[in-house]
Amino acid sequence: MSILLIEDNSLIIKGLTYSLEKNNYQVLGAKSIQETKNVLSTTTPDLIILDISLPDGNGLTFFENTIKLLAIPTIFLTANDNEDIIVKSLNLGAEDYLTKPFSTKELLARINKILLRNTKQSLIKIQDIYFDTDKMVVKRDERIIELSPLELQLLYLLFTNLNKVVTRNTILDKVWEITGNYVDDHTITVYFKRIREKLGTDIITTIKGIGYRIDYEK
């Protein structure tokens, strides 16, 4: 997966390039609109991370006039927190908008979610756990983890909502949808205890009284 980072801040370029490459993304870089045009003339990245304030023009205008026509998923990463600009960028078709200063962990989660949706990527990796969402198979390294159909669906719910708390009410609704049975909070706790034991690693965070969450790695 290739990501084009359009940013003129050298420190951000260095930090993000390290984090993205660590997560197995190929990173292309451009510090200006002209450099970006040169890159796009020879390659089409899977995703673009775009600043609005660039040395030779406005990133939002460039997105509207050029990138949008290429249909490349784009995340705006900028210090501009003007609500009108945020709304305009999303209405123009940007996938997401993140303001500086930002959390690299959160950005990676948003990138993963966008690429999962747009490229139909089926394999999600958290630590040494792999979830193939097409085959609905969970592995630790190369070993298949045997989960019940309900356990698999509950884990799928967390994997497709990385960095986001899945509430107990949502989980109760999912259990009802799958089994047609009403269960209580205690039963949900038991389900996740079993899932944790089968995974053999504690990637699931309990948010006491609210729900559960899996975080995407930095």
| Domain final residue pick, 85, 119, 153 | 119
> pLDDT-derived band of residue 139, with 50, 70 and 90 as boundaries?
very high
Does one domain contain both 73 and 34? yes
Question: Is the distance from CB of 75 to CB of 50 less than 8 angstroms?
Answer: yes
Same domain, 93 and 20: yes
Tell me whether strands 96-99 and 74-78 are parallel, antiparallel or unpaired: parallel
Q: Token pair of 216, please?
A: 């995407």
pLDDT confidence tier of residue 121, bands split at 50, 70 and 90: low
Arithmetic mean of pLDDT, 22-49: 92
Least confident among 28-37, 113-122, 123-132: 113-122
**Are 95 and 143 contained in the same domain?**
no
Residue 217's pLDDT band, with cuts at 50, 70 and 90, is low
CATH code at 52? Answer: 3.40.50.2300
pLDDT at 181: 80
- Beta strand 211-214 pairing with 204-207: antiparallel
Q: What is the mean pLDDT of residues 77-95?
A: 92
To the nearest whole percent, how much of the chain has pLDDT over 90?
63
User: Is pLDDT of 119 > 90?
Assistant: no
Residues 64 and 91 both lie in one domain: yes
Among candidate residues 97, 119, 141, the one where a domain is terminated: 119
User: Which residue blocks in 53-184 are alpha helix, DSSP H?
Assistant: 59-62, 68-70, 83-92, 104-119, 149-159, 168-179
Domain boundary among 66, 93, 119: 119
pLDDT bucket at 118, cuts 50 / 70 / 90: low
Round to whole Å and give the CA distance between 25 and 1.
Answer: 5
CATH of the domain at 134: 1.10.10.10
More confident position, 29 or 183: 29
pTM attached to this predicted model: 0.56
Whether residues 22 and 103 share a domain: the answer is yes
Alpha carbon distances (Å) from 110 to 43, 76, 106, 164: 23, 11, 6, 11
Of residues 119 and 196, more confidently modeled: 196
User: What is the reported pLDDT for 146?
Assistant: 95
pLDDT digit string (tens) for 51-67? 999 999 999 999 999 99
Whether 146 and 188 share a structural domain: yes
- Is residue 28 located within the same domain as residue 56? yes
**Residues 114 and 169 placed together within one structural domain of the fold:** no
* Residues 161, 115 within the same domain: no
Instruction: Answer yes or no: do 109 and 161 share one domain.
Output: no
Range of the domain at 169: 123-214
DSSP state of 76: E
Residues 86 and 152 in one domain: no
pLDDT band, residue 218 (cuts 50/70/90)? very low
Shared domain for 106 and 129, answered yes or no, is: no
User: What is the number of structural domains in the chain?
Assistant: 2
Question: Mind listing the pLDDT tens digit for each residue in 181-198?
Answer: 888 889 999 999 999 999
